[in-house]
Amino acid sequence: MQIEFSKYHGAGNDFIMIDNRTDDYRLWNALTPEVISQLCTRHLGIGADGLILAIKHDDQSAPYTMGYFNADGSRAEMCGNGLRCLMKFLADLGEPVRQMEQVGIVTGAGIVASRFADESTIQVAMPVPSFNPKDAKINLSEEAIQYEALIPGIVEPVTGTAVGVGNPHFVLYSREMWEGFEVHEIGQRISIHEELFPEGVNVGFARKEGPSVIALVVYERGVGPTLACGSGAIAAVGAGIAENRLNTGTRIEVRMPGGSLYVTISDDWSTAILEGTAEKVFDGVVTV
């Protein structure tokens, strides 16, 4: 089966985008986890941090669905950078999303509202950070804020905050810049620590650089270290507020290897806005 695709990125977080507005079952059947993993593998496939299907349906409140897959072919609840790329993809396909005041998109974490703030900037109303253990999907009975965890294979305990942003995150703040080998080694071991995180977890390595600026690298479950992570940016800001490092009602710049995203969590914790751009890289056709 030949499949037309487009490649997009948001702050370097890149995705294979496929138009499945007709919700064609043949496409679903063709995109097995093994095929998706092969397509996302760099050097041997197209190469991407994930694959996104754009689906359209008759619902005025939420006219689009994002089918999101990690690079290893597993399904994931949602992705903030992926949502922005989906908005740009839909606009490029001729969908009237630029003219809509608000676009409801169905994700595995529920309906998420998005909008074009201007010609290039896209805002996404992300799930508000939650520290409830059920939302953070951590195997504890109480909130894990600056929780000291013993991780197999890591000599010293790691201290982090478990956050649910539609998907699970564990954010570690440090005064020093995290090194690449630390991100990969520690991130991988925490991500697959099933006793504490039965469904796996995205691991954020953060450092405060100013009153409204943080640096962040995210080890994504099923992917590894990425250039950017939208939900990770929300989680890191939420954890920073919970740890009294950052303030609500402030536009926080989140500097990641692929570029900056901006996060604002309202004073009453009713909204969490992710802001950034999305860019098209190229189009192609692949046989699966």
Q: Are 63 and 39 in contact (CB under 8 A)?
A: no
40 is catalytic: no
In Å, how far from its chain's centre is CA 72?
A: 15
Using CB atoms within 10 A of its CB, is residue 133 exposed (0-12), middle (13-18) or buried (19+)? middle
Burial of 254 (0-12, 13-18, 19+ CB in 10 A): buried
Alpha carbon 118 to its chain's center: 22
Of these residues, 18, 71, 229, 236, which one is catalytic?
229
79 is catalytic: yes
Residue showing tokens 């806005």: 273
Kindly list the distances between the CA atom of residue 190 and the CA atoms of 154, 156, 214, 243, 259, in Å, as whole numbers in the listed order. Answer: 9, 13, 22, 20, 25
- Cα 176 from chain centroid? 24
Cα–chain center distance at 284: 24
- Within 75-157, strands assigned E span 103-107, 110-116, 122-126, 147-149
Q: Are strands 110-116 and 103-107 parallel, antiparallel or unpaired?
A: antiparallel
Q: Which one of the listed residues 79, 171, 235, 236 is annotated catalytic? A: 79
Q: What residues pair up with 272 in beta bridges, in sequence order? A: 126, 265
Closest CA to 203 of 241, 165, 177, 232: 232
User: What sign for the dihedral angle of Cα 225, 231, 235, 236?
Assistant: positive
**Tokens representing residue 13 in the block:** 């977080």
Residues acting as catalytic residues:
79, 229
